[in-house]
Copies of this chain bind each other. A is one copy, B any other.
Amino acid sequence: MDFQIKASDLEQAHERIKPHIHRTPILTSESINAIAGCELYFKCENFQKIGAFKARGGLNAVMCLPEDERQKGVVTHSSGNHAQAVSLAAKMCGIPAYIVMPETAPEVKKKAVKGYGAQITLCKPTIEARQENAHRIQQETGAFLVSPYNDNNVIAGQGTAAIELLEDTDHLDAMITPVGGGGLLAGTALAAHYYSPETKVFAGEPDGAKDTYLSMKAGEMVTVPNPSTIADGLLASMGDKNFAIIRELVEDVFVVNDEEIIAAMRLIWERMKIIIEPSCAVPMAALLKNKEVFAGQKVGVILSGGNVDLGKLPF
C-alpha cells in the first residue's frame, strides 16, 4: 500500500517543528500497570505547548505554507485545541490568524486564543455557521484555511508524537490513541508503519461519536448524526484523508461510554497526578475494557491533552 504521506514527510515535519515544540516526557505507573495487566508508556502531550498534541499539526501546516501565501494569514474554525494551535503557529510565523469560534466556547479558550494575538469571530454554535464564517473570512482576506485534521501536513505533524514515543521506548507491541477527526490516529498509524511495523495501532472512541468504529465495520465512511459525549474533543467526524490511512493501518477501534471515560480520567488523575481532559482518557478506558487484547504487552498510550475547565469537573 502506497500512502500520500511518505516517511520523508513525517521526518521533515519533525525537523520543522522540533525547535518550537516540547519533547514531552513518557511516564509510567506501576499501579496502573497492575490494574491494566500490561506495561504502559504514557506519552504526555498534555504537557505539550497549548496543552495538547494539536500544536504539532497546526505548526507543521502553517510552516509548510509558501512565504507569499503565508503573509495573508490563516483561518480556521474550532472551539478548542486546534484554535489555539493555529493561533500559536501564526504568532510564531508573525502572520495574522482568524479564528471562528462558537459563541458558546468557554471563556478560558477564547482568552487563550486572544492571548496569541488571533482575531476571533464569534458565530452560532452550529457546524454550518462555523464553516460559513470561515469561508467568508477566507474570501475576504485570502487567508489559508487550516483544517483541524483532514490535511496531509496536519496528519504528518500529529504523527511526530508517535515518532518520539517509538524513539524513547524499546519495541512497543502496540500504540493507542483517541480518535475524533482522525489526525492523531492516522499520523500514529503512519509512524508505526514506517518505523516500527510490528507495533499494532489501536484507537479508543466514545460511544456517542463512534463514526470511526462504524466506518471500519462498514468499510466505508459513515457519519453519526448529532454526536454527543463528554469527550468534547472527539465530536468531529473523521476526514476522508484520515480514513484512507486508518482503514489500512489501524488494527481495531474500541468503543467506550462516558462513564468508562470518566473512571479512566479519574484513575490517571489519582494515580499519576497529571491532568488530562476527558477526550484524552478514552484510550485508557479502552485498554481497561479490553484487557485480554493487551495482556502482558508493552503499550504506548498517547495522552492527547490536558485542557479542562477546573470549575466543571465530572467528579
Tell me the A residues contacting B by CB distance below 8 Å: 25, 27, 46-47, 51, 108, 266, 269-270, 272-276, 306, 310-311, 313, 315
Contacts and interface: CB of A to CB of B under 8 A. Distances in A.
B46 A273 contact: yes
Contacts of A25: 25
Contacts of A306: 273
Tell me the number of copies of this protein: 2
A269 B46 contact: no
B310 A273 contact: no
11 contacts: A27-B47, A46-B273, A47-B272, A51-B273, A266-B310, A269-B275, A270-B310, A274-B274, A274-B275, A310-B315, A313-B313
A47 to B, nearest CB: 6
Contacts of A276: 273
Given A27-B47, A310-B315, A315-B310, A273 B274 contact: yes
Nearest to A52: B273
Interface centre among A275, A313, A315 (most CB of B within 10 A): A275
A27 B25 CA distance: 10
Contacts of A27: 47
A31 B274 CA distance: 18
